Amino acid sequence: MAECHPVGFQWVMEAKARGAKVIHIDPRFTRTSAVADSYVPIRAGSDIAFLGGIVKYILDNDKYFKDYVVAYTNASFLVGEGFVDSEDLGGLFSGYDEEKGSYDMSSWAYDGVDEEPAGGAGHHLGSGGPSLDPSNIKRDETLQHPRTVFQVLKRHYARYTPEMVEEICGVPPELFHEVCEAVTANSGRERTTCWVYSVGWTHHSVGVQYIRGSAIIQLLLGNMGRPGGGILALRGHASIQGSTDIPTLFNILPGYLPMPKAGDPDTFDDYLDTIRTPEQKGFWAEAESYVVSLLKAWWGDAATKGNDWCFDYLPRITGDHGTYQTAIDMNDDKVEGYFLLGQNPAVGSAHGKLQRLGMSHLKWLVVRDLNMIESATFWKDGPEIATGELKTEEIGTEVFFLPAAAHTEKSGSFTQTQRMLQWHHKAVDPPGDCTSELEFFFLLGKKLKERLADSVLERDLPLQRLTWDYSVDEKGEPSAADVLREINGRHLSGDKSGQPLSAYTEMKPDGSTAGGCWIYTGVYADDVNQAARRKPGQEQDWVATEWGWAWPANRRQLYNRASADPDGKPWSERKAYLSWDADQGKWVGPDVPDFVVDKPPSYRPPKGAAGADGLAGDDPFIMQADGKGWLYAPSGLLDGPMPVHYEPHESPVRNALHPQQASPTREVYKRQDNLSNPSGDDPGSDVFPYVFTTYRLTEHHTAGGMSRWLPYLSELQPEFFCEVSPEHARERGLEHLGWATIITARSAIEARVLVTERVVPLTMGGRTIHQVGLPYHWGVGADAVVSGDSANDLFGLTLDPNVHIQESKAASCDIQPGRRPTGPALLRLVEEYRSRAGITVETGNTLKTVKP
């Protein structure tokens, strides 16, 4: 956190000064470790074992927050009899289909919910999780029934002992014990513990389950929804949260509504049923209002009840259309045109070669950026030109480079990592040909509408009828505030016709409201740009709700109902946040309640009540279909109801827990251009004996598009380097400040060597494992102030099935002293490694490795 979010880290330092204990668990000793109370070196890719070990410690030692767990989590819910745990099937849960490489999740359901929820899982879902009718769920509040989630959990993690943690993670038992003690001692009524993660947890084939692991701990310890608690995702781009909320993502529509998928039947109602069941609790039950309002925002008067609000205008998805699948499709000549909007996949995406080769197959490419990034110049100075794999004169890709406007040259909002929208005002006009995306896409849309205005083709109707009339200034730039107003939504009829909506609860399914992103409704309440509020923090209380605007409804902390006990009283004075004020008949506190504001703790929904009315007064997890925090996910996740330790797709280590080596549901691509290293104890795995991981440095930003062109940042970290331990350096003959070549089945890259004791050889199972650390900011090109080989070139594509995010935080490699060969000799080196390891397209790609 100190490394990548130094300014956010001021609050950690502040807490530390007040006595908070800071523990840093990371394969790499970072600037965070330097000021942490404890640093725990861990093998990249082993965190679930570590987290599972903590779960076991909590359960074995009765360290969980019993009142919280019983009241606010699904610990007491009974799991159906058909469920078989991974502990009993060698690492697979019940329902695994070897053919499809996926699970039939019906056996994971709660007892009393006997069929697989209609919603499916993974990318087919919005953020609401699967829909679910909770009314018949059986429970045992003593937590003693063997099929309670609590007991299932206990059995599931029974083998995650400190010794097992050591064997898998390389963390000595006493150090592990110290973490367990610290985390549990600092949780409960009086204290809370916060977990912070970043892409070190998401870039795995089981990334979602990493987060689930910490969620289980936080729920058991009563750390969710309470001040100082929670799980904080530190996101790395100014509006990466916003770009998920208002997604430039294939599988969702604004506000985490799922994209409709092709199928039969494919009606509006079918679609709605995948989002919610009419019986479910919580605010997702109103999804129809959100969808209709979105469609009204996009197609205006053309969207009517009669035509299902133009639901048919939405294109359908048929599987994974994520960026990696798209890159593969480019290589297969399925994609003609590609827009890169402030993104540098030639450097920043996994498997850089596949990305660059993919782009060489395009008919046309539009790159919009502040700087002439490597993705715009791959055709003339990319690494494949040097190896002879590509020849400039043979690349048919037409490239448009359009310079972009900077944040000072346009108005708009960023949504930061805590879901807070903040408005930045335009300060100056963009220089030269630079334009904002807003202006560019507005213009593009206008021109496309003009171009196709006379078309009579049915496929052009959605464009022709698309609402696209934003006010423009004297220079022709569209008003960002106008767009935010549309996002916020407005009343279309009645007294308030034309006025902005003030909350998503005002949205209606009857076409009387429009709104582009329901969770953002309220950002323009009272016709005021709430995101632009800047009441100084010094003039506000510590929650500072009058600075910017956080979705939903300006709530700063989600699930904050859980900060009070079931009766609505704070768990403790020290940790008071929200409480029920019986006199006023409402929830009070420094934050906006994440709850129906006047619903008393004692409220119990009548039988059959659904939606918000279906939430009891002690159901704090209002977006969950059962109102509870999920220790066990009966559905929604494609790779299991509870996290299981699997080895990364490429690992020099055999899974110590299960015959099942890696996640049986990970997405693999068996292709000649995406070969994998042998893993575990497969033949040839010793050719790649080391673990490597990638990361950022404080001095740079991701693929370098906003840092490697700046002398002030470039001079601070001018060259690509690898970090190795002195022991590892000795083993391989690497010299400090010399060069090293790092090799995988995909490529070989060179880096300067930084020998440092910050890298720790791990002892696990009597074996020493060396890890190589690689910052990934550099790329091969001619325009940046500093350049170098790209760490992402080492990775292949293997994805988490839930979110299609690549595994790029743990893989195996070899490292050798000296510079890599250049030209075709580089390809020969990689080929030599492949043949030594006996690599074929099948290598490492067998999903099920449990032998029957």
Partner 1 sequence: MDLRTTFLSWPVVRQLTGDDPLGRGRAAQSAHTAALVPRTSTADRVVDSVCPYCAVGCGQKVYVKDERVIQIEGDPSSPVSRGRLCPKGSASEQLVNSPGRATRVRYRKPFATDWQDLDLETAVDMIVERIVDTRKRTWQDIDANGHKTRRTLGIASLGGATLDNEENYLIKKLFTALGAIQVENQARI
Partner 2 sequence: MSPRGRRRDEFQMVPDAHFTSYYGRPVVKAAPWTADIPAYLFLGGLAGGSSLLAAGAQATGRDSLRRTSRLGALVGISLSMAALVHDLGKPARFANMLRVAKPTSPMSVGTWVLTAYGPMAGLAGVAELRPFLPRSLRDGAVGRLLGAAGTPAGALAALAAPAVASYTAVLLSDTATPSWHEAHRELPFVFVGSAAAAAGGLGLLGASLHDAGPARRLAVGGALLELAAEHRMEQSMGLAAEPLRAGTPGRFMRASKALTAFGAVTAAVLGGRSRVAAGLAGAALMAGSACTRFGVFEAGQESARDPKYTVVPQRERLNARLGS
Partner 3 sequence: MTYDPATASGWVDAPARKGFFTDTSVCIGCKACEVACKEWNAVPDDGMSFLGSSYDNTGALGASTWRHVAFIEQKKPVDLGMPSTARPGADGDGRADFRWLMESDVCKHCTHAACLDVCPTGSLFRTEFGTVVVQDEICNGCGYCVPACPFGVIDRRIGEKDTPKVGVAQKCTLCYDRIGEGLEPACAKACPTKSIQFGDLDELRERAQSRVDVLHAAGVHDAKLYGESEGDGVGGMGAFFLLLDEPEVYGLPPDPVVTTKDLPAMWKKAGLAALTLLAGAVAAFAGSGS
- The span from the first CA to the last CA of the chain, in angstroms, equals 44
Tell me whether residue 437 or residue 783 sits nearer to partner 3 (CB atom).
Answer: 783
Cis peptide bond N-terminal to 265, omega within 30: yes
CB of 166 to partner 3, least distance (A): 10
Closer CB to partner 2, 174 or 757, in the complex: 757
Q: For the CB of residue 548, give the shortest distance to partner 1 in the complex, in Å.
A: 8
Backbone angles phi, psi at 219, to 5 degrees: -70, -40
From partner 2, partner 3, partner 1, none, interface partner of 472 (C-beta below 5 to 8 A by class): none
758 binds, among partner 2, partner 1, partner 3, none (CB under 5 to 8 A by kind): partner 3
Q: Which is nearer to partner 1, 702 or 846 (CB)?
A: 702
Task: Give me the DSSP letters along 286-321.
Answer: GHHHHHHHHHHHHHGGG--GGGGGGGGGS--B-S--
248: partner contacted, choices partner 2, partner 1, partner 3, none (Cβ within 5-8 A by kind): partner 1
- From the list partner 1, partner 3, partner 2, none, partner contacted by residue 253 (C-beta under 5 to 8 A by kind): partner 1
Phi, psi of 164 (to 5 degrees): -65, -40
Q: Which residues contact 265 (CB under 8 A, 6 or more apart)?
A: none
Task: Report in angstroms how near the CB of residue 671 gets to partner 1 at its nearest.
Answer: 18
Q: How far is the CB of 640 from partner 2 (least distance, A)?
A: 44
Location of structure tokens 């003959």 = 733
User: Of the listed pieces 31-39, 56-64, 300-308, 753-761, which binds partner 2 according to CB under 8 A?
Assistant: 753-761
755 binds partner 2 (CB under 8 A): yes
Q: Which is nearer to partner 2, 527 or 735 (CB)?
A: 735
Please say which residue, 186 or 802, places its beta carbon nearer to partner 1.
802
Sheet strands (E) in 726-842: 739-743, 748-755, 762-764, 767-769, 771-775, 798-799, 811-817
Applying CB under 8 A, which of residues 462, 726, 761, 821 lies at the interface with partner 2? Answer: 726
Encoding tokens for residue 337? 């045109």
Q: Indicate the residue among 295 and 755 with the shorter CB distance to partner 3.
A: 755
Q: Are strands 412-415 and 420-424 parallel, antiparallel or unpaired?
A: antiparallel
CB 566, min distance to partner 3, A: 38
Which residues, in sequence order, are bridge partners of residue 413? 423
Nearer to partner 1, 536 or 766 (CB): 536
Q: Is-contact 692 812, C-beta < 8 A?
A: yes
Is residue 719 near partner 2 by the rule CB under 8 A?
no
Judged by beta carbon, residue 6 or residue 824, the one nearer partner 3 is 6
Query: CB atoms < 10 A from the CB of 68, how many?
Result: 27
Identify which of residues 196 and 760 has a Cβ nearer to partner 3 in the complex: 760
- Give the CA angle between residues 166, 172, 177 to the nearest 5°: 100
204 HSE (CA, 13 A, CB side): 28
Of 3 and 800, CB closest to partner 3: 3
Residue 479: DSSP 8-state = P
With CB under 5 to 8 Å by kind, the binding choice for 715 among partner 2, partner 1, partner 3, none is: partner 3
Residues in the interface with partner 2 (CB under 8 A) total 6
Q: Taking CB within 5 to 8 Å according to partner kind, which of partner 1, partner 2, partner 3, none is near residue 13?
A: partner 3
Burial of 731 (0-12, 13-18, 19+ CB in 10 A): middle
The residue within the footprint of partner 2, chosen from 18, 99, 757, 852 (CB under 8 A), is: 757
Q: 3-class DSSP state for residue 387?
A: helix
If contact means CB under 5 to 8 A according to the sort of partner, which of partner 1, partner 2, partner 3, none does residue 433 touch? Answer: partner 1
Query: With respect to partner 2, which residue has the nearer C-beta, 456 or 737?
Result: 737
CB of 155 to partner 1, least distance (A): 35
CA dist 118 and 789 (Å) reads: 47
Q: Letter for the amino acid at 535?
A: K
Query: Closest separation between CB of residue 756 and partner 3, Å?
Result: 6
Residue 719 binds which one of partner 1, partner 2, partner 3, none, with CB within 5 to 8 A depending on kind?
partner 3
| Of 316, 535, 736, 819, the one binding partner 2 by CB under 8 A | 736
- 37 touches, from partner 2, partner 1, partner 3, none (C-beta below 5 to 8 Å by class): partner 3
Q: At what angle do helices 323-331 and 352-360 cross, to 10 degrees?
A: 50
CA distance 10 to 699: 17
Cite the DSSP H helix spans in 10-90: 10-17, 31-35, 47-60, 66-72
The residue (of 243 and 756) whose beta carbon lies closer to partner 2 is 756
Judged by the rule CB under 8 A, the positions of this chain that interact with partner 3 are 2, 6-7, 9-10, 13, 17, 29, 31-39, 41, 170, 172, 175, 697-699, 711-719, 721, 727, 736-737, 752-754, 756-758, 760-763, 768, 785-786
Beta-sheet strands, E only, within 333-488: 337-341, 364-369, 398-403, 412-415, 420-424
Burial of 459 (0-12, 13-18, 19+ CB in 10 A): exposed
CB of 40 to partner 3, least distance (A): 8
CB 120 within 8 A of CB 50: no
Q: How many residues make up the chain in this entry?
A: 852
Q: Which does 569 bind (CB under 5 to 8 A by kind): partner 3, partner 1, partner 2, none?
A: none
Residue whose CB is less far from partner 2, 179 or 729: 729
Least Cβ distance, residue 815 to partner 3 (angstroms): 17
**Could you tell me the smallest distance in angstroms from the CB atom of residue 778 to partner 3?**
11
Closest approach of partner 1 to the CB of residue 448, in Å? 6
Q: Let me know if 737 is exposed, middle or buried by CB neighbors in 10 A (0-12, 13-18, 19+).
A: exposed
Partner interacting with residue 349 (select from partner 3, partner 2, partner 1, none; CB below 5-8 Å by kind): partner 1
**Which residue lies nearer to partner 2 by CB, 755 or 784?**
755
Binds 417, which of partner 3, partner 1, partner 2, none (CB < 5 to 8 A, cut-off by type)? partner 1
Cα distance between residue 51 and residue 660, in whole Å: 19
Give the side-chain half-sphere CA count within 13 A for 338. 31
Q: In this structure, are residues 463 and 448 in contact, taking their beta carbons and an 8 Å threshold?
A: yes
Q: Report what 426 binds from partner 3, partner 1, partner 2, none; CB cut-off 5-8 Å by kind.
A: partner 1
243's CB contacts (< 8 A; 6+ apart) are 237, 249
SS3 of the chain: helix, strand, coil, percent, to 5: 30, 15, 55
Find, among 813, 733, 816, 725, the residue nearest to 762 by Cα: 725
Q: Which ranges constitute the DSSP H helices of 718-840?
A: 726-732, 824-837
- Cα(531)–Cα(524) distance, integer angstroms: 8
301 contact, one of partner 1, partner 2, partner 3, none, CB 5-8 Å limit per kind: none
Partner from partner 2, partner 3, partner 1, none contacting 15, C-beta within 5 to 8 A by type: none
CB of 436 to partner 1, least distance (A): 7
> 517 or 615: whose CB is closer to partner 1?
517
Residue with Cβ nearer partner 1 (613 or 783):
783
| Chain positions contacting partner 2, by CB under 8 A | 726, 736-737, 755-757
